[in-house]
Amino acid sequence: MYTSTVCHALQPQAELYLDLLCLYSHEKRKRQTEIEDKRSQLDELVLQLQHLKSKAMRDRWLLQGMGVEEEEARRKQLEQDEEQGKKLEDMIQRLESEIGALENEESKISAKEQVLRERLKETERSIEDLDTNCCFLSK
């Protein structure tokens, strides 16, 4: 009788662990999606920055041997491009930090998930042991 009561008490605990595992899995997938999105944004920004840097290098090369008027216009454009490059570098750095934070959160969720899986296995083993003992005692 006692083992039956304990067995019934452990089943809701196992269900709770399963519910929490589902919740953690959902949160983990959510973080993974956010990481993928941010990595895509990061890749796009890196490409933009590379393009801007190569354009700036080309413009510097073209500045050599230009007339004063043309040189001034190109120099202003070059300054604007360099400013844009700094903004892109800042955005890249911010995204890298955000990705790191999300990966850290994902890692913590995975650790919690692992602990829950172990608790669930222990609970399931306890239920099986109680069922086995129940069957053995009833014979």
Q: Domains, the chain, ranges and CATH? A: 2-138 (1.10.287)
How much is the pLDDT for 96? 98
Residues 127, 14: contact at Cβ < 8 Å? yes
Nearest to 46 by CA among 112, 110, 96: 96
State the pLDDT at residue 78: 87
| Cα angle for residues 86, 91, 96 (degrees, 5° grid) | 125
Cα–Cα distances (Å) from 26 to 29, 98, 102, in that order, read 5, 20, 14
Residue 137, pLDDT score: 54
Question: Per residue in 74-112, is it b (16+ CB within 10 Å) or e — as a string?
Answer: eeeebeeeeeebeebeeebeebeeebeebeebbeebeeb
Handedness of CA 121, 123, 15, 128 (dihedral sign): positive
Q: Which pLDDT belongs to residue 18?
A: 87
Looking at residue 134, what is its pLDDT?
Answer: 64
Per-residue pLDDT tens digits of the chain, which is 139 residues long:
444 555 566 678 888 888 899 999 999 999 999 999 999 999 999 999 999 999 988 888 877 777 777 778 888 888 999 999 999 999 999 999 999 999 999 999 999 999 999 998 988 888 777 767 665 555 5
Q: What is the pLDDT of residue 126?
A: 80
